[in-house]
A and B are shown apart, each in its own frame.
Chain A
């Protein structure tokens, strides 16, 4: 039972991070219908900027964090303006491949700038593990979860109440109607990329803080596909719930099945869930069912 609770809590903690990364993905998909395969690399770039600020330049954590957000926003802006603006309305394969190409470029550049060696952040949070009742949680995991949840909550509040958030939701709902209400649809696309990039980079900070930074940190970005498909591609609430489910499932499966097959279940379990979901309910738990008209 203790083992189960241990797996469950680390699953929830990791799930919170997945939820945040998936949020970044869904923001972009909802507004522009672009599937961003480079989400993982956005995370990695965010983590590397943070590493440069704190370790190489020696700045304190809070200003470094603000620089990461600014840098990630700028990256999102650049990517949208220079590459993806041209891809609107292109076939799915072109859009998918452009973001895959982009991820390859970012990964190579990161390796050129920061080398492929493993880097780690200075200690940001108190090292003492968090103890809740009988449970002991690693401090980095716990604080990572807290940061992820706060960020998700801030984004949720922006969408619910802020004017930009409402405008973005309107654009996602019906572009033409939004346009005729005086919303600048194009700038909403750009804004979606900026927000998506910021969400991903904060996710990257958390992952980097738990396990260090490497150019292939973005590999974790593949896990968002089970998350977003489970939750429904265009549902923010779904992304959050999907994140938790995938986090918990992969930790439970890893904990109980790894000894039986000799490791690696943790990485494959989310994709098995993905296949099952796609078979039963392709549009996810909360996604909008697409109806095709001739």
Chain B
């Protein structure tokens, strides 16, 4: 049990990782993450990279939906805008990766503000449906603005470089993803400690009282849309530089729902939750595939069930978590920890 939990300075009180133990485990985590690419194979590195990209996008959605309470069904479209911006800048103007990254974020943030503008008059369900419309309309542009986006054939880009170093391999890209994930997690954790972040949470909890306390609802909702889609754009830029090609099929409505599922399964409004959720939802299809491969010996057609089974499990996870564990994986983790901390006592 944690005892003697008192603070002697404001700095100690405000620290994100308040105990030596948690700082120690954080260091262990970083060491493990740094060692990971040296023993992991190509496939594991690929998984790590797509998980990292999903984490950045989920962190973005977590700011908008988890913390500010504005449901977005168009997050994949913002990831797509980031990806297309980055590909177009790299192809047409030959901009380097490090410049494309923030520009992709800014482009996405711009469109995020545009989509968020109706939040001046609407909220809740209506705003959710606006973002659904945005998703459909952006998808239309991805497909039909052929001169810019390459239509359904999409775009291809060359291997990205940082100061002459090729990062197009899974190994090289791992370091980029890792760095961006760490920065994104740190930034979004710290946003919630600032005036702006607290305003977000106030809006989520009760928008009218937030307004009475002097929070300009419209402005702060736009901030939330902008930061959220900025991170989505960054994720999109990573995404295109990782796979080196994009087509509109990569950013359907289903992808937006997958991001929402990540933050719900992980725990709404919780940074660690968004991270757990992104990891969990990215790994589940692979786990299912492994299980079905195992059954293939007994049951030869097992693999043909892979896709529908993924769809069912995806839906079941959302429903089961919402009905039985609305605070998600993050809350489950806390419960497990406190159980072991108190063991063998119950309370």
Using a CB–CB cutoff of 8 Å, the interface residues on chain A facing chain B are 35, 83, 86-87, 90-94, 96-98, 100-109, 111-112, 116, 215, 222, 225-226, 229, 233, 261-264, 267-268, 271-272, 274-275, 278-279, 282, 292, 294
Docked Cα-Cα span, A278 to B133, in Å, equals 10
Interface of A is mostly: helix
Q: With A262-B144, A268-B137, A278-B118 known to touch, is A108 a contact of B319 (CB < 8 Å)?
A: no
Q: Is B166 an interface residue (CB 8 A)?
A: no
B144 touches A261 (CB 8 A): yes
Q: Select which of B65, B126, B311, B319 is within 8 A of A98 by beta carbon.
A: B319
Q: List 28 A-B contacts (CB under 8 A).
A: A90-B322, A92-B128, A93-B268, A94-B322, A97-B261, A98-B322, A101-B314, A101-B322, A104-B312, A105-B312, A107-B311, A108-B313, A108-B314, A108-B315, A111-B308, A111-B311, A267-B136, A271-B136, A272-B133, A274-B133, A275-B130, A275-B133, A275-B137, A278-B121, A278-B122, A278-B126, A282-B126, A292-B208
Contacts of A294 in B (CB 8 A): 208
Q: Select which of A101, A107, A226, A268 is within 8 A of B316 by beta carbon.
A: A101
Using a CB–CB cutoff of 8 Å, the interface residues on chain B facing chain A are 65, 69, 71, 118, 121-122, 124-126, 128-130, 132-134, 136-137, 140, 143-144, 146, 208, 253, 257, 260-261, 264, 268, 305, 307-319, 322-323, 326
Query: Nearest chain-A residue to B304 (Cβ)?
Result: A115
* Number of A-B residue pairs with CB-CB distance less than 8 Å in the complex they form: 132
Docked Cα-Cα span, A120 to B38, in Å, equals 54
Q: With A92-B124, A108-B311, A278-B118 known to touch, is A267 a contact of B140 (CB < 8 Å)?
A: yes
Q: With A100-B257, A108-B309, A271-B133 known to touch, is A92 a contact of B315 (CB < 8 Å)?
A: no
B128 touches A100 (CB 8 A): no
A92 touches B71 (CB 8 A): yes
Docked Cα-Cα span, A215 to B268, in Å, equals 30
Contacts of B312 in A (CB 8 A): 104-105, 108-109, 112
CB-CB nearest 3 A-B residue pairs: A104-B315, A101-B318, A108-B311
